[in-house]
Amino acid sequence: MTIHDWPVPERPRERLLSHGPGVLSDAELLAIFLGSGTRGRDAVQTARDLLVQHGPLRRLLDLRAPQLARLPGLGPARSCALAAAMELAQRHLAAQLVHGDCVGQSPAVAARFLQHRLRGRPNEVFAALFMDNQHRLLAYEELFQGTVNAASIYPREVVRRALALNAAAVIVSHNHPSGDAEPSAADHQATAELQALLAHLDVRLLDHLVIGEGAPVSFAERGWLGPASALPPRR
């Protein structure tokens, strides 16, 4: 039995068109990308198998396209479609940062963007959002890459890029591949040094977000940056 044999109101595409994507399960959303299933299994059953064996959904979608292509039911074309969809989502979040004072009004937008970019990376990556004086995005740059449990951070290089971009504010972020987002002593030390260097140039360090499995740890929200950061809480 294929999905085309299902009652029309129960088919994933028809349900999406009638009620929106939010009503679909992870397996149903993935099945729409698959289009068809593997031998003897429809697209939804194939999607469920993928989620059981390689999920949950976030972990599955964190795989790179060549890894996805090797999984049953995907292959090069479908894995490229999934990778492209993830990149579109990231660019959509980036566009929200560019248009309007999104970081100043809603730090959650920046946090979601950085989660999409950094969570699931196999090694530590230190990145920065450089912004103008209205907190609109000038550039997103991945500045340093390290190992599975460490990345050397060079605050002076961040300062150099802030000057080159004529940035007035910066949000920095790095991931912990272990999944534990609690900052290390080295993270605190590098952040304090970076904030001091930027302050000499009248550039504000708005936040340092550490990305793990759950919600990011925000230095600003925990009061570790002092009154200069003054970011409202993420919602």
Share of the chain above pLDDT 70, in %: 88
Residues 173, 211: Cα–Cα separation, whole Å: 7
Residue 27 reports pLDDT greater than 70:
yes
Output the pLDDT for position 97. Answer: 64
User: Does any domain span residue 93?
Assistant: no
Query: Which of the listed residues 41, 62, 88 is the one where a domain comes to its end?
Result: 88
- Residue whose C-alpha is closest to residue 214's, from 183, 184, 179: 179
Q: Are 57 and 48 in contact (CB under 8 A)?
A: no
Count CB neighbours of 156 within 10 A: 10
Residue 227 reports pLDDT greater than 70:
no
Mean pLDDT of 73-102: 78
Output the pLDDT for position 42. Answer: 86
Q: For residues 44-78, b (16+ Cβ closer than 10 Å) or e, as one string?
A: bbbbbbbbeebbebeebbebebeebbebebbeeeb
Mean pLDDT of 5-9: 83
Query: Which of the listed residues 66, 88, 110 is the one where a domain comes to its end?
Result: 88
Q: Are 208 and 191 in contact (CB under 8 A)?
A: yes
Same-domain check for residues 124 and 179: yes
- Residue whose C-alpha is closest to residue 95's, from 131, 137, 133: 137
Same-domain check for residues 204 and 165: yes
Mean pLDDT of 18-35: 89
User: Does any domain span residue 223?
Assistant: no
Residue 148 belongs to domain spanning = 101-218
Same-domain check for residues 83 and 105: no
Output the pLDDT for position 182. Answer: 93
Q: What is the pLDDT of residues 171-223, one digit of tens each?
A: 999 999 988 999 999 899 999 999 999 999 999 999 999 999 888 999 999 99
What is the CATH number for 205?
A: 3.40.140.10
Q: Evaluate the CA torsion angle 212, 196, 98, 80 in order and state its sign.
A: negative
Same-domain check for residues 57 and 116: no
Report how far apart, in Å, the C-alpha atoms of 141 and of each of 154, 165, 168, 185 are: 14, 11, 16, 24
Residue 148 reports pLDDT greater than 70:
no
Lowest average pLDDT, out of 111-115, 153-157, 230-234, goes to: 230-234
User: Does any domain span residue 229?
Assistant: no
Same-domain check for residues 47 and 109: no
Same-domain check for residues 156 and 202: yes
User: Does any domain span residue 94?
Assistant: no
Same-domain check for residues 123 and 80: no
Residues 71, 51: Cα–Cα separation, whole Å: 11
If one counts the domains in the chain, the total is 2
pLDDT bracket for residue 235 (50, 70, 90): very low
Same-domain check for residues 123 and 199: yes
